[in-house]
Amino acid sequence: MKSETQTRPAPRSRGRRLGAFVFLSPGLAYLVVLLLVPLALVLSYTVFQRGRFGGVVYEFTTENFARLLDPLYLGVLGDSLQIAALTTLIALLLGYPTAYVIAQLPSRWKTAALVAIVLPFWTNFIIRVYAWIILLSGPGLVNSVLGTQLELLYKQGTIVVGLLYSYLPLMVLPLYAAIEKLDPQLREASANLGASGFTTFRKVTLPLTVPGVLTGCMFVFVPSFGNFVIPEILGGSKTLMVGNVVRNEFLKARDWPFASTVTLALIAVLVVLLLAQAWAARRA
């Protein structure tokens, strides 16, 4: 039989727990107020009806989920996945060599290169997006330089360019971190064993940087998939993405139940991708 002294937690242990709770409280409050409560509201609204003049009528229905299967919204979801995936792929193809070159630079130039990568974030996001209108419009800089009158705006390709410009640094930075922490002796050993530069990259560098690749892909894909500002400014009314549907249903149509259902679908897709990314990272 244990004595009373053995069963009671030591005062020092209780103090550590209390201290940990005090330090975690702001973060927990932040998660509860700004994440869990809104998420619970979104989940609950999906099974209710839209009011006659907007808002929510608390009468159970499954109509919102049936409406989500409409070919129109499935097409929007497919377009959003396609645009986000294409943006992520191009960002990876551009970001990997960029990060690799930065990691090989002398120390004094690495800082300058990294500052250049994050420099666009020092400017307002909306201003940066509108700058592309000046560049790509009919009498814009690109047409002036090329001597053409190409219609470059309001196309899916323009949206990809805008997303790529905005989120490419989110691909470069985790790739740089993954490449930077590689042990140089591994590549030296591969070279000493007679492997070519490409073989060393394919069998040593690339496999060891897969976690950085997966992290960068998620950093680019997630904001690209749910973005609504860039598609609206650079895509006009010709291209509709999931983020635009959510915004329009919440603010214009005031159909909060259906907007919540679309939001739930968007969250479900992202959760599946995050789980896939975590699974792939564990196996890497």
Q: Which residues does 205 contact at the CB level (< 8 Å), separation at least 6?
A: 100, 179, 182, 187
Tens of pLDDT, residue by residue over 152-185, are 888 888 999 999 999 999 999 999 999 998 888 8
Report which residue type is found at 224: S
Distance CA 159, CA 86 (A): 11
| pLDDT of the residue at 1 | 47
Computed over every residue of the chain, the mean pLDDT equals 87
Q: What is the CATH number of the domain that holds 258?
A: 1.10.3720.10
Mean pLDDT, residues 255-281: 90
Residue 43 lies in a domain: no
| pLDDT of the residue at 10 | 64
Distance CA 62, CA 46 (A): 8
Residue 39 lies in a domain: no
Higher pLDDT, 125 or 171: 171
Report which residue type is found at 208: L
Do 77 and 88 form a contact (C-beta atoms < 8 A)?
A: no
pTM: 0.84
Residues spanned by the domain of 155? 62-283
Token pair of 150 as six digits: 């190409």
Mean pLDDT, residues 181-190: 87
Do 102 and 110 form a contact (C-beta atoms < 8 A)?
A: yes
- Tell whether the model's pLDDT for residue 7 goes beyond 70: no
Confidence of residue 8 (pLDDT cuts 50, 70, 90): low
Q: How many independent structural domains does the chain possess? A: 1
Q: What percent of the chain has pLDDT over 70?
A: 96
Do 224 and 235 form a contact (C-beta atoms < 8 A)?
A: no
